Amino acid sequence: MDRIRIVGGRPLSGTIPISGAKNATLPLMIASLLTGETLVLDNVPRLADVGLLQRILGNHGVDVMVGGKRAGETADHGQTLHISAAHIVDTTAPYELVSKMRASFWVIAPLVARMGEARVSMPGGCAIGTRPVDLLIMAIERLGAKIDIEGGYVIAQAPHGLKGGEIVFPKVTVGGTHTAIMAAALANGTTVIENAAREPEIADVADCLNKMGARISGAGTSRIVVEGVARLGGARHNVLPDRIETGTYAMAVAMAGGDVLLQNARPELLQAALEVLQMAGAAVVSSNQGIRIARNGSALAPVEVTTAPFPAFPTDLQAQLMALMTRANGTSCIVETIFENRFMHVQELVRLGARIQLEGEKATIEGVERLQGAPVMATDLRASVSLVIAALAAEGETIVNRVYHLDRGFERLEDKLGRCGATIERLAG
């Protein structure tokens, strides 16, 4: 298993290109199941999760072709995927695959909408909490699917197609909203989705579906209306930039000090996080090239933050902010309201010298003068990258183990940070 070695203490300066968003790419790839024609996705990040989803779709009979190199392109350009679900040969998504990536459960919606049936393994728990799928099942049931649960599989059937209906989510859910939109796109009649998630990735997927011929309005607001159509066609779509990768590198710069342009980043995708960074003492300047983040010499100020659905501060940046606050000049408080168990990074940050108290969903972080490098590991993607951020400011050497978590969601992390002056390398093994 690869590891990453970091020696802290170097400021960052230069440019970091921001990749396409993982959490838009995954549902966009899944949306390809809705059509027999080719969906072309540009700006797709090179991530382990994208490769895994390719395998999962392949099992349903989907062909995914990765576009070759083009003149003038560098590794900073995203990939182009040509995805064709002309013939769906299998409507089962097996446990061995779904258990490796929760988002693959979402295939249930396009499969039942287009094929009239789907048999998808329940994903099970994961490192950040129990993460049930009851609301996803409720959404397709509201559109007329008959649901059975048998041997750990959810079996959805709608032999005569889905019918438009009203879906009211009792809790904001990103996966529930994606599922509802995809199912409703091919349903007979109109669907209204209330209390929908407003994450930018929802609007990005809806944009793509509309290019494919869907009739979706209101995506990006909490009320989405979908007029079902009989069939969808092909389209070409450019994946929006990754706001979590943007926020992560912004926090890395705030931690290490320096001045970095986050190229292609879009400030409106992470306004809440940028405000928190400014309160903490970082300078944030947006331009048509991206977002520039700088901190030169000033101390970090403590902050109080509660995670909540978009447009509030995202849970996917909670661990990174906590790492940053370990070095603040005072006591910070972070409340996690989305996932009940998303504090796996706390004990590892403590190993680097952080002072953090946990009480239910609230973490109190007392800033310290110095962190010290140590071997660490984490059990999820965002927790792992928070350890990288802490290591950038720690004295001496930190070895981050289990790098495969990072590879699920960060493209060439060591290369992007290394080019800005960090002492960071991947140790193969």
Residue type, 63: D
Nearer Cβ to ligand EPU (129/152): 129
Nearer to ligand EPU, 376 or 381 (CB): 381
With CB atoms as reference, the residue minimizing the distance to ligand EPU is: 175
Question: Cβ 353 to ligand EPU, closest distance in Å?
Answer: 26
Give the whole-angstrom CA distance, residue 284 versus residue 300: 14
Whether residue 420 lies in the annotated active site: no
Nearer to ligand EPU, 17 or 175 (CB): 175
Minimum Å distance from CB 245 to ligand EPU? 10
Cβ-based neighbours of 24, under 8 Å, separated by 6 or more: 200, 201, 204, 205, 239, 240
Catalytic residue among 126, 208, 333, 420: 126
Residues lying near ligand EPU in the complex (CB under 6 A): 23, 26, 102-103, 129, 131-136, 171, 173-176, 197, 315-316, 338-339, 381-382, 409
Whole-angstrom Cα distance, residue 413 to residue 427? 13
Complex with ligand EPU: residue 317 or 394, whichever CB lies closer: 317
Rounded least distance, CB 265 to ligand EPU, Å? 17
Complex with ligand EPU: residue 371 or 413, whichever CB lies closer: 413
Tell me if 353 sits within 8 A of 375, measured CB to CB. Answer: no
Nearest to 257 by CA among 300, 294, 303: 294
Q: Could you tell me the smallest distance in angstroms from the CB atom of residue 106 to ligand EPU?
A: 8
Q: Least distance (Å) from ligand EPU to the CB of residue 294?
A: 27
Q: 295 is written with which tokens?
A: 């901190």
Residues forming the active site: 126
